[in-house]
């Protein structure tokens, strides 16, 4: 269930209640007239089945409540209510597969900000991956993948493409355009410093390290894994299955590729540099392409659901004999 806390201007409170009470997927509607102070209006509370939450929210936004009032969305972890059970039963589908688009947009908007913490995580992830390349350590490479926050802006590009949000697309692009060069520069500078101070032995050779060679050798399988990760990542984001997102993070080689670019640059290994650049481009491109496709399919299913809900809502009034 999704709990809605709505502040509606007095002149639209009646229409808001009509929309909520006219949808069988909504339950436990409460109306407190005139209690809201800023913005002024009526406070309306309601629970809605997760499957139809975005349908209801789209209708409410059609009343301009977001401009003159407010709508807060909260996930209900558990409920004890037969009315809520009937609302869930009426909303066809599995709650675990339902997409609340307002939640998706909120998550991606937050993850696309070029904040100081985002840059620190990118730099730290690049440094960990660089050490993993020095030591040929798969554990450190995987750790760097988990630490890296780059999936947020990548997901933001997918969401922006499907929902046509230019502002989110621009923020996501800027985050990637700043974050990856920062990770590459960190790995490059660290490698130069470690070589100068003898931390990295003189016998180190980028061409003889297995993990570095794998990262610098993009192929169809790298594209295939990134494509699968794009689909899984969007499903994880849109259905709030955070456990699957960890698997996505450790299956793509974006951060390792960025670190290997910096290491190869420090050693002037141009073949590894070109290969790592290709690996980074393939991974980012495949994730965005297939992630957008997966999200577009979910959006299409949502639009079909919204049309069905509206058709069922008007059926009693238009069908003869009822």
Annotate 24-59 with DSSP letters as a single string. Answer: TTEEEEEEEEEEEETTEEEEEEEEE-GGGHHHHHHH
Same domain, 207 and 164: yes
Same domain, 65 and 121: no
Same domain, 92 and 199: no
Q: For residue 315, is it within any domain?
A: no
Query: CATH number for the domain including 89?
Result: 3.30.70
Write down the pLDDT at residue 77. Answer: 83
Q: For residue 193, is it within any domain?
A: yes
How many CB atoms are closer than 10 A to CB 136? 15
Same domain, 200 and 113: yes
Closest CA to 11 of 43, 37, 35, 42: 42
Domain end residue (candidates: 97, 126, 156) = 97
Among the ranges given (19-23, 90-94, 264-268), the one the predictor scored with the smallest mean pLDDT: 90-94
Q: What is the mean predicted confidence (pLDDT) over 76-83?
A: 86
Q: What is the pLDDT of residues 216-249, one digit of tens each?
A: 899 999 999 999 988 888 888 777 665 556 666 6
Write down the pLDDT at residue 316. Answer: 52
Among the ranges given (95-99, 179-183, 188-192, 285-289), the one the predictor scored with the smallest mean pLDDT: 95-99
Write down the pLDDT at residue 97. Answer: 67
Helix axes 151-163 and 270-318, enclosed angle (nearest 10): 40
Q: For residue 311, is it within any domain?
A: no
Write down the pLDDT at residue 242. Answer: 58
- pLDDT surpassing 50 at residue 317: no
Annotate 54-97 with DSSP letters as a single string. Answer: HHHHHHHHTTTHHHHSEEEEEE-S----HHHHHHHHHS-S-GGG
What rounded mean pLDDT belongs to the chain?
86
Q: For residue 157, is it within any domain?
A: yes
- pLDDT surpassing 60 at residue 117: yes
Decide if 173 contacts 279 (C-beta within 8 A).
Answer: no
Q: How many domains are contained in the chain? A: 2
Domain that holds residue 61: 2-97
- pTM of the complete model: 0.80
Q: What is the pLDDT of residues 268-299, one digit of tens each?
A: 999 999 999 999 999 999 999 999 999 999 88
Same domain, 113 and 161: yes
Write down the pLDDT at residue 241. Answer: 63
Q: What is the mean predicted confidence (pLDDT) over 190-195?
A: 94
Q: What is the mean predicted confidence (pLDDT) over 3-25?
A: 91
What letter does residue 84 receive in the DSSP assignment?
Answer: H
Same domain, 275 and 155: yes
Q: What is the mean predicted confidence (pLDDT) over 184-211?
A: 86
Q: What is the pLDDT of residues 28-55, one digit of tens each?
A: 999 999 999 988 999 999 999 888 888 8
| 94/219 Cα distance (integer angstroms) | 37
- pLDDT surpassing 90 at residue 255: yes
């Amino acid at each position: 269930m999704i709990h809605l806390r709505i502040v509606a201007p007095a002149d639209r409170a009646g229409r808001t209640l009509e929309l909520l009470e006219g949808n069988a997927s909504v339950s436990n509607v409460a109306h407190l007239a005139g209690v809201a102070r800023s913005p002024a209006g009526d406070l309306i509370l309601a629970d809605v089945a997760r499957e139809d939450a975005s349908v209801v929210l789209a209708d409410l936004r059609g009343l301009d409540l977001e401009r003159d009032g407010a709508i807060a969305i909260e996930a209900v972890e558990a409920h004890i209510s037969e009315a809520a059970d009937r609302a869930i039963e009426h909303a066809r589908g599995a709650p675990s597969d339902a997409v609340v688009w307002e939640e998706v947009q909120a998550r991606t908007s937050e993850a696309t900000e070029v904040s100081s913490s985002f840059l620190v995580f990118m730099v730290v992830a690049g440094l960990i991956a660089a050490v993993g390349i020095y030591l040929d350590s798969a554990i450190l490479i995987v750790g760097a993948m988990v630490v890296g926050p780059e999936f947020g802006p990548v997901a933001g590009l997918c969401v922006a493409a499907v929902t046509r949000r230019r502002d989110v697309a621009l923020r996501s692009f800027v985050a990637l355009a700043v974050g990856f060069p920062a990770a590459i520069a960190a790995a490059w500078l660290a490698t130069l410093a470690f070589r100068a101070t003898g931390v990295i032995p003189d016998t180190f050779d980028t061409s003889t390290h297995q993990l570095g060679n794998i990262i610098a050798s993009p192929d169809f399988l790298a594209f295939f894994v990134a494509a699968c990760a794009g689909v899984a990542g969007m499903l994880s984001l849109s259905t709030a299955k955070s456990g699957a997102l960890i698997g996505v993070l450790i299956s793509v080689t974006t951060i390792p590729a960025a670190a290997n670019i910096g290491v190869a640059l420090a050693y002037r290994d141009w073949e590894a540099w070109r290969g790592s650049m290709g690996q980074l481009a393939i991974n980012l491109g495949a994730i965005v392409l297939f992630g957008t496709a997966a999200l577009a399919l979910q959006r299409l299913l949502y639009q079909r659901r919204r049309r069905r809900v509206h058709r069922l809502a008007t059926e009693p009034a238009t069908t003869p004999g009822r």
